[in-house]
Amino acid sequence: VVFDRVADVRAHLDAARAAGRRVGLVPTMGSLHEGHLSLVRRAAAECDTVALTVFVNPLQFGPGDDLDSYPRHLDADIEHAAGSGAAVVFAPSVAEMYPEPSGTTIEVGALADVYEGASRPGHFAGVATVVAKLFHAAGPCRAYFGEKDWQQVLVVRRMVDDLFFPVEVVTCPTVREHDGLACSSRNVRLTPDERRAARSLFEALSGAAALVDAGQHDPEAIRRHLTGIITREPLVALDYAAVVRAHDLAPLTEAKTGEARLIVAARIGTTRLIDNLALTTAAPGTP
Ligand code: PAF
């Protein structure tokens, strides 16, 4: 069943909870790929009623960002969602989510000002605000997010903890294409040459993780390795590459397995891609 009104999806999910069903929520901006569908499947395995939200949130796009060209495929999304176990799709309009006048936003603090937040001012206030609204529309639930947007996961968890949302945040491993490129709705916009060049992000992450496995724990040396591989690709403009403490993105003096995370962002043509990798003793990319 597809809803476009907050009141209707809320009533539906309230009734599900009243009947003793556990609600799972998968917030997305649509154009579903395997990464999204893995979230839906996980939610369906752990919850009784799964609601997928599809909303391209203008508040999280900056003036130079790709709001207008962001891919939109609602009909296909509804079909894929149902095929993966989501009984409910909530696809509101901008007017429904941000009725005029509307001015309240959520600021999550320092976590939102670095890396993606520094490159995209206002982005995480936009994300936190829309996620808060979606959580209020859905009510108490488990909410599923992909690790590909690592900083977003930290921002959402911070908000949930700080504001006592009755929501359990579940994060799921990044799903990758055959050559390691992280699934993203933006990948379809890459030209064949850009798509080839985009491999360098995962090559850099997995190369740097192997370096750590081989005993290199100096964050600066690891960062140089990441940067070296990405900047070798002429089509890729590196935005940042960093070795950070996984739970708060703080800088590290030593990159320790289990504690550190590698994060990268780059522009390829007009497309901006991000990726990250935990430092674990397992093979890179293994959940
Ligand atoms: O990750 C996304 O697709 C979006 O940032 C989210 C969480 C749906 C909020 O608009």
Q: Which residue has the higher pLDDT, 149 or 283?
A: 149
Of all atoms in ligand 1, which is nearest to the CA of residue 57? 10
Q: What pLDDT is recorded for position 281?
A: 61
| Phi (first) and psi of residue 57, to 5 degrees | -85, 105
Q: Is 146 left (phi over 0), alpha (psi -120 to 50) or beta?
A: beta
Please give the full DSSP string across 195-232, using - where no structure is assigned: HHHHHHHHHHHHHHHHHHHTT---HHHHHHHHHHHHHT
Residue 38 Cβ contacting ligand 1 at under 6 Å: no
β-strands 23-28, 271-278 pairing: unpaired
Choose one of 130, 136, 160 to mutate for the ligand 1 pocket test, by most ligand atoms within 8 angstroms of C-beta. Answer: 130
Q: pTM to 2 decimals?
A: 0.96
Of all atoms in ligand 1, which is nearest to the CA of residue 60? 10
pLDDT of 287 higher than 50: no
Residue 25 Cβ contacting ligand 1 at under 6 Å: no
Alpha-carbon distance 37 to 205, whole Å? 24
Residue 57 Cβ contacting ligand 1 at under 6 Å: yes
Question: pLDDT tens for residues 26-59?
Answer: 999 999 999 999 999 999 999 999 999 999 999 9
Active site residue 36: yes
Residue 27 Cβ contacting ligand 1 at under 6 Å: yes
Question: pLDDT tens for residues 69-80?
Answer: 999 999 999 999
Question: pLDDT tens for residues 88-111?
Answer: 999 999 999 999 998 999 999 999
Question: pLDDT tens for residues 82-94?
Answer: 999 999 999 999 9
Choose one of 26, 28, 72, 151 to mutate for the ligand 1 pocket test, by most ligand atoms within 8 angstroms of C-beta. Answer: 28
Catalytic residue among 33, 36, 80, 225: 36
Question: pLDDT tens for residues 234-252?
Answer: 999 999 999 999 999 999 9
Q: What is the mean pLDDT of the chain?
A: 96
Residue 185 Cβ contacting ligand 1 at under 6 Å: no
